[in-house]
Amino acid sequence: MPVNPNDPRVKRTRQLLTQAFMELLKEKKNIYSISVQDIAERATLNRATFYSHFEDKYAFLEHWIGEKFQKSIEEALPNSSLSDMRSLRTLIVAVFEFLAYTRQVMRPGDSQFEPLFEIAMQKQLYHLLTRWLTEVADTTVSQETVEATALVMSWGIFGSAVQWSRDPKNRTAQEMARDVLQVVAAGLAPVMS
CATH of the domain at 159: 1.10.357
Both 5 and 80 in one domain: the answer is: no
Domain count, the chain: 2
Instruction: Please tell me the predicted confidence (pLDDT) of residue 108.
Output: 72
Average pLDDT, integer, range 107-115: 79
Q: What is the mean pLDDT of residues 7-34?
A: 88
Same domain, 169 and 116: yes
Average pLDDT over residues 155-176: 91
- Provide long-range contacts, Cβ within 8 A and 24+ apart, for 183-190: 183/156, 184/88, 184/92, 184/153, 184/156, 184/157, 185/85, 185/88, 187/149, 187/152, 187/153, 187/156, 188/133, 188/149, 188/153, 190/141, 190/145, 190/148, 190/149
Same domain for 36 and 122, yes or no, is no
> Which of 54, 81, 98 is the last residue before a domain boundary?
54
* Mean pLDDT (whole number) for 18-47: 90
109 shares its domain with 178: yes
What mean pLDDT, rounded, does the chain reach? 88
Residue 174 lies in a domain: yes
Please give the pLDDT value at position 104: 77
Q: Is residue 79 part of a domain?
A: yes
What is the domain extent for residue 104? 58-187
pTM of the shown model:
0.82
Q: What are the pLDDT digits (tens) for 74-88?
A: 899 876 667 788 889
